[in-house]
Amino acid sequence: MTIQMPRLNMAAGPVQVMPRTLRDQARPILYHYDPAFIDLFARVSDQLQQVFRTRYDVVIMQGEAILGLEAAAASLISPGDKVLNLVSGVFGKWFEDFIRKYGGETVELAVPYNEAIDPEDVRKTLAANPDIRFLSVVHSETPSGTHNPVREIGRIAREFGVITLVDTVSGLGGELLSPEAWGMDVAVAGPQKCLGGTPGLSLMAISPEAWQVMEAKRPAPLRGSFLSILDWKTAWLEERRFPYTPSVSEIYALESVLAQALETGMERFVDRHQTIAAACRAGVKALGLELWAAREEIAASCATAIRTPPGVDDEALRGIMRRRYGVMISPGYGELKGQLFRLGHMGPAQAHPTALAAQLAILERALADLDYPVQLGAGVGAAMAALADWDDEATA
Ligand SMILES: *Cc1c(COP(=O)(O)O)cnc(C)c1O
């Protein structure tokens, strides 16, 4: 028996995409040296700079965001380099593997996975370890629905002359960032999170200092590799050619989602995510459920993580939501498995009152099916009460 498609994909990425994105993605495949494709790639790069709100070079690597993260480690870290790795969740911890693989030495600053990094601790650690060259941090820890104060952390890194590698895969579009103002040297984002696009690309902004470090990597700069960011600099940025064939259809989809974000305007785009996230938290609390994030100020705008209530099996809960009512949500991931589940609100299709109402209503229904005491409508009501200022027609 074929398993039916869900009615709503409310997962924490890849997310449901807008019909317009799917339509634009379905255009005929172009030869990558067709002038129309060169023109498209240049336009998409321009749009990406606007979405990142940066004058730094942007690079679009042709693989899901993990490629960009590994490429950053592989292209920057020389054997023996000390890297301060900030760990507030699963992805932060995971980055240590890349640091080790490329010969770096990790200094870890960790907090519990429902907390955020305190910038003052970063300052103390950098002051105590003057030989640290790099700092790696996850902006928005999607698995625990929390975010780190990257703006403050980045500024401190700048003061110490430390190069930053920032995983903002689910942060871009969820907070109004700027690599220059936030001290991000290599920022890696993904189209399939808050931008509401399709998975398959790494979106990167690279500071001039980061380029210098890549050129000076020991024993030699990383070139001639799928992981090489410098290959993209030489090929695309300097010579308007490609190191290899780009994923043509993914570039179509990216152009579409970036255009949609810019039509909305980045400030409003981000504000919509933050508004829906706040409404979601209001709904969750009205249901008597507990937010995973230790404090609301550190709750992410990409997804809301909810502590699995006592007596409820999270797999059963998500299973009912998916099988009986067609709503797919994400579980806890890695060490967080079973401890929490997540409601998604990333991208124009998810970060919207319709999707929020539907997933909260179905969450309530599924909790009731499990004989968990909920008042049907309480969560949806509180969430809708928080959305009085919403207006689809308002644009930049
Ligand atoms: C989605 C995501 C990534 C990419 O990881 P996948 O699991 O391959 O999608 C990396 N970092 C963060 C914070 C993410 O949310």
Tell me: domain 8-14+265-395, CATH 3.40.50.10860, correct?
A: no
Give the number of the atom of ligand 1 that is nearest the alpha carbon of residue 65: 4
Cα separations in angstroms, 13 against 133, 182, 274: 32, 25, 17
The number of the ligand 1 atom at minimal distance from the alpha carbon of 170 is 15
Please tell me the distance between residue 258's alpha carbon and the centre of ligand 1 in angstroms.
19
Q: What angle do CA 85, 306, 360 make, to 5 degrees?
A: 135
Burial of 311 (0-12, 13-18, 19+ CB in 10 A): exposed
d(CA 60, CA 261): 17
* Nearest CA owner, ligand 1 atom 7: 66
What are the pLDDT tens digits along the chain (396 aa)?
799 999 999 999 999 999 999 999 999 999 999 999 999 999 999 999 999 999 999 999 999 999 999 999 999 999 999 999 999 999 999 999 999 999 999 999 999 999 999 999 999 999 999 999 999 999 999 999 999 999 999 999 999 999 999 999 999 999 999 999 999 999 999 999 999 999 999 999 999 999 999 999 999 999 999 999 999 999 999 999 999 999 999 999 999 999 999 999 999 999 999 999 999 999 999 999 999 999 999 999 999 999 999 999 999 999 999 999 999 999 999 999 999 999 999 999 999 999 999 999 999 999 999 999 999 999 999 999 999 999 998 866
My answer on whether omega of the bond before 310 falls inside 30° of 0, hence cis, is no
Distance 373 CA to ligand 1 centre (A): 34
Label the pairing between strands 303-307 and 82-87: unpaired
CA distance 150 to 166: 8
Q: What's the token pair of residue 293? A: 């994030």
- Parallel, antiparallel, or unpaired: how do β-strands 57-61 and 202-206 relate? antiparallel
CATH 3.40.640.10-classified regions of the chain: 19-262
Distance 395 CA to ligand 1 centre (A): 29
Q: Ligand 1 pocket test: which of 64, 70, 144, 301 has the largest number of ligand atoms within 8 Å of its C-beta?
A: 64
Q: What separation in Å is there between the alpha carbon of 200 and the centre of ligand 1?
A: 11
Q: Using alpha carbons, select from 152, 211, 210, 212 the residue that is nearest to residue 182.
A: 152
Protein residue whose Cα sits closest to atom 10 of ligand 1: 169
Query: What is the distance between the alpha carbons of residues 294 and 221, in angstroms, rounded to a whole number?
Result: 42
Closest by CA to 326, choosing from 58, 27, 6, is 6
pTM over 0.95: yes
Provide, for the chain, the percentages of residues in helix, strand and coil under a 3-state DSSP scheme, each rounded to the nearest 5: 45, 15, 40
Task: Report the pocket of ligand 1 as residue ranges, CB < 6 Å.
Answer: 13, 64-66, 91, 138, 140, 142, 167, 169-170, 190, 193
Which ranges in the chain are annotated with CATH 3.90.1150.10? 8-14+265-395
Burial of residue 296, with CB atoms counted within 10 A of its CB: 0-12 exposed, 13-18 middle, 19 or more buried: exposed
Residue pair 102/229 in contact by the 8 Å Cβ criterion: no
Alpha carbon of 193 to ligand 1 centroid (Å): 9
Q: Largest Cα–Cα distance in the chain?
A: 64
Report the nearest atom of ligand 1 relative to the CA of 199.
9
Task: Yes or no: say if 309 and 303 are a contact pair by the CB < 8 Å rule.
Answer: no
Report pLDDT for 1. 78
Is the domain spanning 19-262 CATH 3.40.640.10? The answer is yes
Size (the chain), residues? 396
* Pairing outcome for strands 163-167 and 303-307: unpaired
